Chain A
Amino acid sequence: GENVEQHPSTLSVQEGDSAVIKCTYSDSASNYFPWYKQELGKRPQLIIDIRSNVGEKKDQRIAVTLNKTAKHFSLHITETQPEDSAVYFCAASTDFGNEKLTFGTGTRLTIIP
Chain B
Amino acid sequence: NAGVTQTPKFQVLKTGQSMTLQCAQDMNHNSMYWYRQDPGMGLRLIYYSASEGTTDKGEVPNGYNVSRLNKREFSLRLESAAPSQTSVYFCASSEPDRNYGYTFGSGTRLTVV
Judge if B90 is at the interface, Cβ distance under 8 Å: yes
Q: Which of B41, B42, B45, B101 has the most CB of A within 10 A?
A: B101
Segment at the interface with B among A13-21, A55-63, A69-77, A103-111: A103-111
Closest Cβ of chain A to B60, distance in Å, is 12
Q: Is the CB of A49 within 8 A of B104?
A: no
Q: Is the CB of B40 within 8 A of A89?
A: no
Q: Is the CB of A97 within 8 A of B45?
A: no
Q: Is the CB of A98 within 8 A of B96?
A: yes
Instruction: Provide the main secondary structure of the chain A interface.
Output: mixed
Q: Complex Cα distance A89/B35, Å?
A: 14
Q: Is the CB of A102 within 8 A of B45?
A: yes
Closest Cβ of chain A to B36, distance in Å, is 11
Q: Is the CB of B59 within 8 A of A106?
A: no
Known: A97-B94, A97-B99, A100-B48. A43 touches B42 (CB 8 A): no
Residues in chain B near residue A51, CB distance under 8 A: 99
Q: Is the CB of A46 within 8 A of B97?
A: no
Q: Which of A42, A46, A89, A100 has the most CB of B within 10 A?
A: A100
- Please report which residues of chain B, range 61-113, place their CB below 8 angstroms from some CB of chain A when the two chains form the complex: 90, 94, 96-97, 99-102, 104-107
Known pairs A36-B101, A105-B41; list 4 more (Cβ under 8 Å): A36-B102, A43-B90, A45-B104, A103-B42
**Residue ranges of A at the interface with B (Cβ–Cβ < 8 Å):** 1, 6, 9, 32, 34, 36, 42-46, 49, 51, 89, 95-98, 100-106
